[in-house]
Each structure stands twice: as structure tokens, then as C-alpha cells.
Amino acid sequence: MGKVTGFLEYKRKNNGDIPVSERIKNFGEFHLKLDDKERIKQAARCMDCGVPFCQSAMRLKGMVTGCPLHNLIPEWNDALYHGQNEFALSRLLKTSSFPEFTARVCPALCEKACINGEHGDAVTVHDNELYVIEKAFEKGYIKPRLIQVKSEKKVAVIGSGPAGLAAADRLNYRGHSVTVYERDDRIGGLLMYGIPNMKLDKSVIERRKKLMEAEGVVFVTGVDVGRDISAKELQSEFDAIILACGAKQPRGLNGADTEKIKGIHYAVDFLKSTTASLLNREDSITECNVDDFMKGRDFISAKDKNVVIVGGGDTGNDCIGTVIRHGCKSVTALEMMPKPPIERNAGNPWPEWPKVLKTDYGHLEAIELFGHDPRLYETTVKEYVTDKKGNLKKIVISKVAFEGRNMKLVEGSEQEIPCDMLLIAAGFTGCESYTPESFSVDLTERNVVKTKADGYQTSKEGIFAAGDMRRGQSLVVWAIAEGRACATEVDKYLMGYTN
């Protein structure tokens, strides 16, 4: 490596954050980037470890550690240290389709496997990746790629989330004509409407869309395949079809009838309403302050409400950050599982995924604003209390205990707390069935599209599936990896071989 002793000489230094009191006044991204000199030092911390677990994506005790894209992390860190930004970009793009997405929203599986993290602090791989890709856009290194040879094969991609976009990008560059269908008014799937703007500015998605359009990809938005257009029509027009619609069937909560009880919403519906309202404004999202935004009426508002969020994952955290910006009166997050330890247990050594407490931006904002961590562990909702008009006013919560995989309520632990809005962020139960049913493809017992073992071909000739629609709810980085692998299989199906 460029500086063999870099990991000994330099301490880890993360990108900074705009102070909580300032950043909750708007919906803009709030991370502050290090200067070039400091970033080079962080790249120098990548050591010549011999076996780079960071790029290996190993499954240990049922959990993956290391990058699913197998990014060549030591190589582009070395190039970054030497100031070879364009070469660093070339090594990054060799395995990664959209570093500008993963560098913002990925939980950095790579860093969890970094050997520096065994006894100290891992390399800032996540921040280094963001630097490489954003420096490339800034310097004009990224330009539309000219497609030299066209195959005369046509591929339809249903869904424009990270899996669909990755597959479309690869197949288009291979020379196939690719059309991407999206039922929403904008592309991106959960990148657009499931992740708040402060975590992923929507201009980043629009920038990528324009680049892909310049390279020949066609995007058709506002078209719901299986309803607005039939599977038969698409099959008659295209040589291959990829289903990449995600796993958007939300997991419900016992007794939480969203039709009868006013004030209960699914988390993604809530987050989408805020993002859609921001995008429909005349000024840009990043210029939109909270006070101006809250004057609107076209979104689900948490202003002056006691909000309870059920679910402790990334989506639950994003809901916390969003309701705080709305001006909620209070926010509580319920998690059924026990509170994780602050440090690794002896039975959870490196390089396994660290099962430790994660305090994310939304939690930190709630702690500073309300003076305490919003999370209540080993707790669930037992009862919903409404007024005569059906408006949610309170909930009864209860501690839970597990006997094996079975959960039971702990008698005598009930507690009543105020709740005007309940957001369900309990995950998803698979894909929405109407699109796969329209193509007559088989589903698994987990309600995702069934494909051949270790492959992406469905039960129907010429129909493939990738991303959450195939593997179930997962990470953006896994969706991109699936889209790329699926594109390889589709290419071989169309051409008889693949390069």
C-alpha cells in the first residue's frame, strides 16, 4: 500500500455533521466532508492486510460481513492516497454501479470486516467511497458512455429501484435496448420515496437518471405493470423481462386497523408523503426550511403530535428524523428485541457482524431535542385507545418475553402513553402479488418470486427476477449486486454467452 504505516500514524476521522439544532430546520443532507488533505490520510489507514475481508461478503453465523459487491477497496484506497482520483474511480466502478447511493445509505458491511476494526477503528471506507464518486462528478470524469455495438435485443425492467437500475445499466452498456417501467411518478423506488432526503438528496437520483438516459436507457414512469399494461403486451414486445418491483407488502401490527383507526400509518406511506410534498414544491428540497414546508397540506403531518414508531430498523430511525423535522410533540420508538450491548460480546468476535447498539442520526436528534433516547426495548403495543370519532389518542404498551421463537406479553407490565400518530415500521412480508401473478410466475413461501437455485430465471421462459422481489427485504447494496448478477444471466440468455 501507499503508506504501510498509515494505520498506525493516523486516527480514524469521520465526516462531520451539521449540529442537530441547525439541521432539523431543513430537509437537506447534513454530513460535512473532510478536506482533500485529511481524506488522503484516511485512505492511508487502509493497510496491506493480505486478505481483505472488507471485499469478501462472508456469511458468518447467519449474517454477512464484507461488501456484497466485492468492491476493490484496498486498490481504490491506495489510488486515493496517491492522488490518483481518476484511477480510483475506475477501480470503484469496476464492481459498483452507483457508488453515490451506497456511499450515502449503506450500513458499511465493508467496515465491519476491516481488519483495523479487530482491535481499533476500521478504515472510513464509506466516506472514502463518497469522496471518490463525488470528486469524479465534480471533476467531470463521469460522462455518458458511448455504446459501440447494439445487439437488437430488447429488455424490459419492471421497477426502478436499485436492483432494476443496476440491471438496466449493465444490459444497456452491453448493447441491448432497455426500457424501465416505474409505477410512481419518479424513478428510484425506495431510494426516492422510502429514504428521506436528508439521507439521500433526490438530486443525486435525478443526476444518475439523466446520465442513464444519455446512454440510451428509456424510463417510463406512471405505468403500473399488471394494471395499466399487461404482461402479455410486454412479452410480445421484449425478448426478456426482469421483475424488480421490490418487497413492498408492509407487515401489519395486531389490532392496528389503518382503515378504522385514524392516525395509524405505514412508515413508507408516511415517508413517501413527505418526500412527494418536498418534490412538488417550486423551490429545491435543499432550500426548503421546515417552517415553509409545514404550511403545506399535501402530506401526513406529525406536527404537535405524540408519535410512536413500532420497529427499530433503518426505516424506524428515518421516521424519527422526519417527525422531528415536522415538529412533533414527542417521539417514542418501540422495539421487541432486547437492547444490544454497547461493545461486542466474547461470542461475537471480529470479523462477524457486530451485534452492538447502533445509535443513528434520528436517535441522536431525539436525544438532544427531548433529553433521552426514544427507544423502549422488549416492548410492543397491546391496545389502542381512540376518541368517539376514531382518532387515536393513547396506546397501551406492554413488555414482552420470548420462549424460543414465541413471544408473549408480560402480565402486569402494561403502561398507557399518549399517542396521536402511530407509524408501523415493522418491515415487509414480500412482494405485492399482482405483478408476478400477471406474468404467472411462481412465488415462494416467503411471498417473493421463485427463481432457479443460485439463479435469476423464474418459472417462466424469458422472465427473470432480482432484488428484494427475489430475496426479500434487504439492503440497497444487495439489490445492486442482484441487479448486476441478473443482468449477466439475462445477457447469456439473449446471446448464448456473456462477457
154-170: per-residue pLDDT in tens? 999 999 999 999 999 99
pLDDT at 3: 87
Q: With 90 as the cut, is the pLDDT of residue 253 above it?
A: yes
Residue 449 three-state SS: strand
Whole-angstrom Cα distance, residue 327 to residue 177? 47
**Gap between the Cα atoms of 243 and 467, Å rounded:** 9
pLDDT for the residue numbered 281: 81
pLDDT > 90? residue 194: yes
In the CATH scheme, what architecture does the domain 6-139 have?
Orthogonal Bundle (1.10)
> What are the residues whose beta carbons fall under 8 Å from the beta carbon of 391, sequence distance 6 or more?
262, 263, 420
Looking at residue 497, what DSSP letter applies? Answer: S
Q: What is the mean predicted confidence (pLDDT) over 195-203? A: 96
Which homologous superfamily is 264-424 in? FAD/NAD(P)-binding domain (3.50.50.60)
High-pLDDT (> 70) share of the chain, %: 98
101-113 confidence digits (pLDDT tens): 999 999 999 999 9
d(CA 195, CA 318): 7
Q: Give residue 353's pLDDT band: very low, low, confident or very high (50, 70, 90).
A: very high
Comparing 6-139 with 264-424, is the CATH topology the same?
Answer: no
Grid coordinates of 227? 394494471
| 230-252 average pLDDT score | 96
C-alpha 134/C-alpha 136 separation (Å) is: 5
The predicted structure's pLDDT at residue 61: 93
Min mean pLDDT across 123-127, 143-147, 180-184, 393-397 is at 143-147
Model pLDDT for residues 283-341, shown as the tens digit of each residue: 666 667 899 899 888 999 999 999 999 998 999 999 999 999 999 999 999 999 999 99
Per-residue pLDDT tens over the stretch 163-193: 999 999 999 999 999 999 999 999 999 999 9
Domain positions in the chain: 6-139, 154-249+429-495, 264-424
The verdict on pTM exceeding 0.85 is yes
Instruction: Report pLDDT digits (tens) over 138-158.
Output: 999 999 998 989 999 999 999
Query: For 20-30, how does the pLDDT look when each residue is reduced to its tens digit (9 = 90+)?
Result: 999 999 999 99
Q: How far apart are CA 468 and CA 482, in angstroms?
A: 9
- DSSP E strands: which ranges in 342-460? 375-377, 379-386, 392-403, 406-409, 415-418, 421-424
- Distance, CA of 226 to CA of 159 (rounded, Å): 12
CA atoms within 13 A on the CB side of 189: 25
- What is the mean pLDDT of the segment spanning 467-496? 97
Specify the CATH class of 154-249+429-495 in words: alpha beta
Q: Kindly report, residue by residue over 398-428, the tens digit of the pLDDT.
A: 999 998 888 999 999 999 999 999 999 999 9
Output the pLDDT for position 448.
97
Q: What is the pLDDT of residue 404?
A: 84
Per-residue model confidence (pLDDT) at position 437: 96
Closest by CA position to 315, among listed 97, 63, 107: 107
- Give the mean pLDDT of 439-459: 96
| pLDDT of 498 strictly over 70 | yes
pLDDT of residue 365: 98
Q: What is the pLDDT of residue 312?
A: 87
